[in-house]
Chains A and B, each alone.
Chain A
Amino acid sequence: MNYKDYVKWERMPSTWCPGCAIGTIFKSLAYTLEKLSVPREELVVVSGIGCSGRAAGYFDGDSVHTTHGRAVAVAEGIKRGNPALKVIVFSGDGDLVGIGGNHFLHTSRRDVDLTVVCVNNGIYGMTGGQMAPTTPPGEKTLTSPRGTAFAPINIQAIATAGPRHFYARASVYQVNHLQQALREAIEWPGFAFVDVMAFCLENFGRRLAFKSGHEMLFKVKADFKINPAPAGRLADNELGVVKHGH
């Protein structure tokens, strides 16, 4: 199948804003599915709520758009119900590690064979731009008008806590690396979390004086460097794959 065959074109244009980062990740996943020749009848994409949550409906396989935070829980049910299915969760950081944090903790602990793609833009975009558990410290948002007082959640530490784990940090700028990470994650026979550094122009960056998605993209480029062979955990500014156990 060509990557275009994984997309429900009749649903386009998407709901995503001009300059949004989600489309790049969506397309990268479609490319990866083509590379891995995943049959449509084996593919199930599951998402939660938020801008990224809308992605499930744009994939041309069976898909489930769940309630806020519950994508991983529903996905685990699907995978255990029929282990032959390739179950991919595609959702945002607020959904996966905020409201859905408990499911992330425990489904990763149970090492269920799922691929979780996290569009990590550091903000609640769909609801207007409120502080997320991933918002960088000091950043002003609608619910942290004096700047976020809290340290962001350490997704890598949670995802790599168990004896068998797969955590990749990728970005919407380094697209080849993103696709490589997605490929490895889908092939990984356990719980694989791909944390994609993204951005939100309309409800975050715009208020921080970014003028375009392009400007925000180059901020991602400046902020992150690929570490092709990390020795242990990734440093905060590194992209790479940390995996062990399978």
Chain B
Amino acid sequence: MMRLIMGNEAVALGALRAGMSFFAAYPITPASEIMHLLAEKEGEIVFLHAEDEIAAIHHAIGGSLAGRKAMTSTSGPGMSLKQEGIGLAHMMEVPLVVVDVMRVGPSTGMPTLPSQGDVLQSVHGSHGDYHPIVFYPSSVEECYRVTIEAFNAAEESRSPVVLLSDGFLSHLAETVDLEAVKVEVKPRTLPPLGRGRRHFTGLLAEDGVPRTKDTAYYREWYARVKAKMSAVASSYRFFEYLPNPGAEALLIAYGIAFRVVLPLRREYSLFKPVRMFPLLEDEIRAAAEAHDKVVVVEMNDGQYAGEMRKLLQRDVLSVPILGGDIRLQEIRERLHEL
């Protein structure tokens, strides 16, 4: 059955389809509709309107430890607060989904307007080194599908997976046939609390025993966790590549920016990463090799373009649209200026 729904609703419905039964969040524009829809499900799921964003992610960590698939949702200001919990979940290896519906920052910024300014925060926001899996859909149908996959990746990697959205996509209404979306739902992987003698800690630990002065063990642990994240990510290679044989330039765009540049596919080749991190190294390299120019169009000051330069080790052009408004005409003009 076709239904007209918004991106935020699709995220909430996708989470329910994935078997999420614990949701904690704090209201924030433009993410609140996720909360509103899930509040209606209280009783069927554990729903918690927390006192702040820090509490919300820590509630979700507790809910996940207790045996439930858990999620929290927010926007940039709340994402900044959640970074502490994201680090804890990485250290304790707790599966979780964190939704960040991006708006213009820093700070309170322009709360109702979209941006893609949290791309680097989503991967480097917490202190220390870690390797998160980050997804960013670009349509309402994809919001639904990728939310389910985010839960799958969280379970398989036992880590907090970030699902990016933006103030535009979150309120974009499109018709979707949810039943027609076929995605396997992966089962829980973390045995729930109450089974014995496990100690979860934010300290570096080996089998629950802190190893806080052991550099050699830290490096060994780090290599293991990094390899685990890469291995899990390798089965979530989501992207869209629209090659154009005549095109001189490859445009890389994601989320709502990809939707806006889509009409340019007759002049350019287009590449949309849905798995933003870890970078789709092979796919992006292969697409870039076939083109003289690589251009990243994004609603920030060139955050992903910097990542592409590091990856490709070549000149990557940047069309930073910044947050607020995004128009095809402006992008077209900026591309011609390059």
Contacts and interface: CB of A to CB of B under 8 A. Distances in A.
Interface of A: 8, 11, 40-44, 46, 49, 56-57, 60-67, 70, 73-82, 84-85, 102-103, 105-106
Interface in B222-253: none
A60 B197 contact: yes
Q: Is the interface of B mostly helix, strand, loop or mixed?
A: mixed
B52 A75 contact: no
Contact of A106 (B51, B61, B64, B84): B51
Contacts of A46: 62
Given A57-B210, A75-B62, A62 B88 contact: no
Contact of B195 (A60, A62, A64, A76): A62
Contacts of A73: 50, 54-55, 58-59, 62
Nearest to B203: A65
A67 B202 CA distance: 6
Contacts of B130: none
Contact of B66 (A8, A66, A78): A78
A171 to B, nearest CB: 29
A74 B61 contact: yes
Contacts of B198: 62-63
B195 A41 contact: yes
Contacts of B195: 41, 62
Interface in B41-62: 46, 48, 50-52, 54-55, 58-62
B66 to A, nearest CB: 3
B110 to A, nearest CB: 27
A66 B58 contact: yes
B67 A103 contact: no
29 contacts: A8-B199, A40-B197, A42-B194, A43-B194, A57-B199, A61-B197, A62-B193, A62-B197, A64-B62, A65-B199, A65-B202, A66-B58, A67-B84, A70-B84, A74-B65, A78-B62, A78-B65, A78-B66, A78-B193, A79-B62, A81-B22, A82-B192, A82-B194, A102-B52, A102-B54, A103-B51, A103-B55, A103-B58, A106-B51
